Every structure is written in structure tokens, then in C-alpha cells.
Structure 1
Amino acid sequence: RPAARKLVGGVTAVDYGPRRPAVPVYPISRRQREALLWIARGPTLAGAGREMGVTDNGVNGLLRLVYRK
């Protein structure tokens, strides 16, 4: 034990290499983010679609892509 303490006591820093995120990062598109924001505000898929100029199926497709990521 004394030898280990002496060795560890001399260590001032440890380099573990570059940090990586705990979970892989998959960026989402501007439109996907917009769809998420509209849904978070409370409108239905149809309401969000009207605001975005797409159908409710279009909004649903954008959200599916986000969930897949």
C-alpha cells in the first residue's frame, strides 16, 4: 500500500483522451425542430401543419424522423 500511495500521490493529472458524448448525437433539421416546437406548444398535427404549410401527415413524418434519431 505505501508504494501505491507514493505512486498515486505523484500523479497530478490523467489524460483520458478526447471526451465523447454519453449518447450519440444525431442533429435534427430546421423543419424537424419547427415541428417539435409547434407540437410542444399544444396544437394538433393538423394545426401544426397549417402553421408550417404542410399536411398533418407531413408533420407526422417529420416527427417520426426525429424519434428515429
Structure 2
Amino acid sequence: MGPRPVRLRRGHPVRVRASAPPEAAARIRTELAPVLDRPEARTGLLTVCAQVLQAQDRVDFYAELAGPVREHLAHL
């Protein structure tokens, strides 16, 4: 079935995928850098990471993401 869409403040759905190819992730990061490099985006990123880690014991998909999320947080 896959993850449920997460609704952002303006109602745009975002789906988190654990198996995105590294090339796709790099391209997304490059294309969205002007938005993702803003302070409010960092706050959003930290919030989502905290929510994934907090729910990892209850949601299998989040348990799969916990390791990569921790690695990402180590590089922030």
C-alpha cells in the first residue's frame, strides 16, 4: 500500500519513500535547494525527522527509515 501522504500547511501531499534512488534524491536536492536551504525548511526537516524517530516503534515503515534518518541528522 505504501505510506500515507503527509499534508503540508498549504495542503500539498508529500510521500516519503525509503527506496528512492540516490540519483533521484540528488536531483531533487539540487532542484529544490533554493527552498530547502531556508531556515524554515530546516525546521520542517527536523520536525519530520523527530516524528519518524518517535513513531519507529509503532510504524514498520518508519522503523525502516530510522537508520537513514539518523545518518541524515548526523550530517546536519
TM-score band w.r.t. shorter chain: 0.3 to 0.5
Q: Which structure has the greater CA radius of gyration?
A: 1
Relative to the length of structure 1, the TM-score reads: 0.32
Relative to the length of structure 2, the TM-score reads: 0.30
The higher relative CO (CA closer than 8 Å, separation ≥ 6) is in 1
